[in-house]
Structure 1
Amino acid sequence: MKKKKLIALVAHDNRKQDLIDWVEYNWKELIMHDLVCTGTTGSLVANALEKKCEENNMVVPSITRLKSGPLGGDQQLGALISEEKVSMLIFFWDPMQPQPHDVDVKALLRICALYNVVTATNRATADFVVSSSLFHQDYKPIIKDYSSYVNRQV
């Protein structure tokens, strides 16, 4: 994980405003990194950061927008994680509302655990992540060696 990170930002519909509030609060930390977002969240994050950057005469960070989660964005993000391109996932999910793509959400969280990707699923954890001394440093997460699984006899 390099000093300049690729941070994934995702939010379910009922949590999008919570994520935008968090982005507006932490915008100075986020603009030093590249961002990747799913669907509508990407547009909302871009608008929030553009506003903050314009007000403060700063450059808007690179924001890659994937498809909406239920339309394949969760899988696109999972692929980026499995390619070890994503440094961390900030995912404000809605625990009170069943999602039509719950299996995709579970797979995304599973792949984060598998590749030891920093994952925050609520504001408190996300605040701790961006305020950590490791946030602006190079950091090498230890990834479990799955070679015995990959090379097993079938």
Structure 2
Amino acid sequence: MSTLIWRPVGAALLALLPLMAQAAEPGKTIATPMAEGSMGGQLVQVLLGLLLVIGMIFVLAWLMRRVQQIGPRSGQVIKLVASQALGPRDRLLLVQVGNEQILLGLSAGRITPLHTLKEPVHLPEAEAAAPEFAQRLMELLGKDQKDKP
């Protein structure tokens, strides 16, 4: 078993042997990539690489949003009908599963079913608002929900 462990180490040492022999010669110096190119060229190369990575991040984020929008939205079985914040970590949720609506209490690390409604609550389409974060963001940006065509 010990020979299996030492074989890769021995192979790595054999691969480094020419470099060690070259370093042992006092008259020769090893050329480094930093010495070959100018500093300005290297800076441009680093900046282009950084821009490429940032561009790829934006392209992948855009692609993920497109892929998520393709999925069927109306075919969901579980729907969030309404949400009410009770405190910083406590919420009431009205969830519809099929034809049944359930009132849930949501607190830190715990979801408790509070009541199953016999008569479903129907909200008019105008009241089915965007999530709270989207509403607050629109308010901060100075746009109103009425501005939508």
Same fold by TM-score greater than 0.5? no
Q: As a proportion of its length, which structure holds more strand?
A: 2
Greater relative contact order (Cα < 8 A, sep 6+): 1
Query: Shorter chain as normaliser: what TM range?
Result: under 0.3
* Larger-Rg structure: 2
